Structure 1
Amino acid sequence: MKHLILLLSGVAAVGFAEPGQPSLSLDQALEMARIHSPKLKAARLQTQAAGEAVNASGRWKNPELDFEAEGIGGDLDGFDDTEYTLALRQTFERGGKRKHGRAAAEQAAVAAFQAEAANELALLAEVRQAFIEAAALQETAKVRAEQEKLAAEFVEVAKERFDAGGASELELLEAELSQDETAMERMDNAGELKTARIRLASLIGIPVVETGRLTADYYTLPVPGIRAVTEAHPLLRQRAAEVDVLRAEAALAGAADAADITLGAGVRYQALDDENTFVFGASIPLNFVRSGKAAQSAALTRAEALAAEGAELRRRLQQELSVLLSAYTNARQDAEMTRDRLIPKAERAYELSKAGYDVGRFSWIERIATQQHLAEIRIRYIEALREAHLALAEISRFMQEDI
């Protein structure tokens, strides 16, 4: 899983940064999200509360201390013939109530932990997506800046040729128009990049100015290490734990029909004879109405329904994973074909148009067209990589991390 965690961190620096500007890697962004996310904090507290509930479950009931006094002043003799009884009573639960109650609490704790894990996976996938969006826009900004620089150089050449009578006013206008269009595209890209940075900063809980330069190995596309959803997926384990909770509750409901026994022992003092006697007692409820079996049957039926929902959840997750893997494969193929076939040809076409224009074989319009076409193909490559990385970010939701 580490190769996915390091998917966008490491080798290549994406975009531009002023000297001394801080950088932000994907690993750092993920760790910040773990620390600052209110949703994860709430999930951790839920897990902690469930763990504390386990410690409180399956315990013995507290004993009861009984005191009784009879005949206090009933015959106007004061306390001379009063009887006092002091006894200690303890209830013993039968039918495995303590065991089943603790089992239900333990499975509830497992469900809470898996819910926390699922929330963390979803958050980290969202952070990856935001990071990728910003990284792609940074790389696009790099292309736009180079394109704008070339456009400015074209305008200077066009002015020189126009002043020397070697170019028409139309060529000069076309060069200036290309420069203006490139500048507008760069401004649009800058606005989108700012928005992407704001979204990323809000997810990881830092001011947007602290995002700095995003560093990423943007041009590396690893092979996903998963093809099928396993039972270790947090959502599936959470659902399985919820089923076990219902089954434990069903067993507890069935045990409710078992009558508990209360035993008591103590001392009775008779003031009239000044005697102390030992007393012993026992009580057991008469469970004529037995509702435990009905409650047990209802809980088991709910458990079966939840298990069926778990099977549907697994099918849906597998379908989603298969779609994402297909999308990743398509985007990766598009990126590789663009890199290996389109970009070399576009670069060659641009070099030929530039050399041909210098010797008068090609027009200024043809030179601008090949330059713009090269920029468009480079941006297409960036977009194909972006789609592949976004698919990988979604795929990471199906892979257990070091939680």
Structure 2
Amino acid sequence: MLKYPLPALGLGLALFFSFVNHLAAQPLTQAQLIQLALEHNPRIRAAQKTWEAARARIWPARMLPDPELSFEYEALPEAPSLSRFGERSIGVAQTLEFPARPYLRGQIAAQEAQVAELEYEAVRTEVAAEVAQACGRLWAGQRRLGYAEESLRLATEFRDRTLVRVDAGDAARAELLRAVVEAGRAEVGKATAQQQLRQARAVLNTLLNQDLSIPIELSENLNYTPVAFDLQDLQQQALVHRPDLQGFRAHLKGTVGTQRLATYALVPDLNLGMASQKIRGEGDFWKAGLSLRVPLWAWGKQRGEIASARAGVARAQAEELAARNQVLLEVLGAFLKVEITQHQLQLYRDRVLPSAEEAYRYVRRRYDEGGASYLEVIDAGRTLAEVRTAWVEIQLDYHIGITDLTKAIGGNQRDKKKEETR
């Protein structure tokens, strides 16, 4: 049974609960949460191990075939009696490949390792984008809950005032019933907002590889900030920094190496052998041998391998071109989404939201003065709640759009690589 020292186990548990308490104790910024995810997300760990495994295969790919050690006994009077041999040979043989072949195998393995590294970087970029979007949903959930609590407060206040007016004979009982219904609807809205906030926290905790119930809080407001982008510059950045596109290019280089390796299969291998021979009654002798592996059936075997490798190169070229087009399309789509949501945000911020808030205050004041009906108050309250919800959703769409655009151009790979080279 596998046993662990109690001090080590206690230290591990202490570090784990320290990390959990750190998350629960204080609100964190989006950058801090992304860093935690990059350190603890299991998908990133799996991609990193895949990369390490690919790197470990580079050196073995350059090695020559294993030598062969042979023992031969001849003229044995009896099968089990090896000591009464008439002739014995002990030899070793080594296949010497054309030098370009082990070199190319190493280059192909190195390209495969680079592809694995770029896949690892792509996973990091994807996880970072998912965490940023989850932070946006967490922030939106907090805002929805705040607006829902405000709507409940206003609906409850309106219900209480309507009750006073009914008791004073200034309003019909039907108004009170409608006010009670609106207060109930506001309570349901608050419960829904609480549930959405819990779901957003669970998603973020999943990305951090932590317990789903940890009450993560976001310490910063993801409010709208106008940003100007240049589409051509973004697309150029994507073509240079997208790790998945770089991975397709590295794969293409690997297939070119595979084609060259298949071509060098036509070059014969040289087999060297040396053996010590002992003939009973005559003494010891040495013998050496040299042989060539002749590709006699090249018209069938090697020719087919070369054709297959050539087709692999053409396929890799087509996949790289398709990936390039897809990258440009993703950048364009994210760019257009950001442009549209920016226009919507400016419209809601400057006109729609202030108008809805002013309309509700005006109708409530008129209702208290007896100049507006309860239906107008209810309608204005619903409009305000809908506008506030839409305002939060548009801000969330903008944040997700910025995140998608950042992911589409390769994340922060350029800054990351600069820091690593310092």
Give TM class, smaller chain. Answer: 0.7 to 0.9
User: In the alignment, is residue 157 of structure 1 matched against residue 161 of structure 2?
Assistant: yes
Q: How does 1:182-331 map to 2 (within 5 A)?
A: 182-221=186-225, 223=227, 227-228=234-235, 229-269=238-278, 271-274=280-283, 276-290=284-298, 291-331=301-341
User: Is residue 339 from structure 1 mapped to residue 349 from structure 2 by the alignment?
Assistant: yes
Give the secondary structure class of the aligned counterpart of 1:264. Answer: strand
CA positional deviation for 1:50: 0.6
Alpha-carbon deviation of 1:86?
Answer: 4.2
Contact 1:24–1:214 (Cα < 8 Å) also in 2? yes
Amino acid in the other structure paired with 1:145: E
Structure 2: distance between partners of 1:294 and 1:215: 62
Amino acid at match of 2:210: I
Distance (Å, rounded) in 1 between the aligned partners of 2:169 and 2:139: 45
**Structure 2 residue corresponding to 1:30, chosen from 22, 34, 54:** 34
Q: Measure the CA separation in 2 of the matches of 1:185 and 1:110.
A: 51
Aligned-partner residue type, residue 392 of structure 1: I
- Higher deviation after alignment, 60-69 or 321-330: 60-69
Output aligned runs, 1:3-402, within 5 Å: 22-71=26-75, 82-94=86-98, 96-221=100-225, 223=227, 227-228=234-235, 229-269=238-278, 271-274=280-283, 276-290=284-298, 291-398=301-408, 399-401=410-412, 402=416
Q: Please give the TM-score of this superposition, normalised by the length of structure 1.
A: 0.84
Find the residue that maps to 1:282 and give its secondary structure: strand
Asked if structure 2 preserves the Cα contact closer than 8 Å seen for 1:25 and 1:214, the reply is: yes
Change (3 A) 1:246 1:81: closer
Q: Which stretch shifts more, 58-67 or 227-236?
A: 58-67
Q: Do the aligned partners of 2:94 and 2:272 also contact (CA within 8 Å) in 1?
A: yes
Higher relative contact order (CA 8 A, sep 6+): 1
1:67–1:184 CA distance, 2 compared to 1 (3 A): closer
Q: 2:139, 2:221 within 8 Å by CA — same for their partners in 1? A: no
Instruction: Point out the more displaced range, 220-229 or 58-67.
Output: 220-229
Per the normalisation by structure 2, the TM-score is 0.80
Q: CA deviation at 1:265?
A: 3.7
CA distance in 2, matches of 1:107, 1:130: 34
Indicate if the aligned counterparts of 1:221 and 1:332 stay in contact, CA closer than 8 A: no
Alpha-carbon distance in 1 for matches of 2:206, 2:153: 33
Amino acid at match of 1:281: G
Partner SS for 2:93? strand
Please report how far the alpha carbon of residue 147 of structure 1 lies from its aligned counterpart in structure 2 after TM superposition. 1.3
Of 375-384 and 127-136, more deviation after overlay is shown by 127-136
Evaluate the alpha carbon distance shift between residue 186 and residue 81 of structure 1 in structure 2; reply closer, same or farther with a 3 A threshold.
closer
Which amino acid is the alignment partner of residue 306 of structure 2? Q
Superposed CA offset, 1:185-224 (max 9, x none): 2222222333333333333322232133233322134636
- Structure 1, unaligned runs of 5 or more: 1-19
Q: Is the 8 A contact 1:136 1:386 kept in 2?
A: yes
Rounded to whole Å, the distance in 1 between the matches of 2:84 and 2:356 is 116
Name structure 2 gaps, 5 residues minimum.
1-23, 418-422
In the other structure, the counterpart of 1:15 is: none
SS class of match (2:213)? helix
CA offset digits 1:9-36 (Å, max 9, x no partner): xxxxxxxxxxx86434433433343344
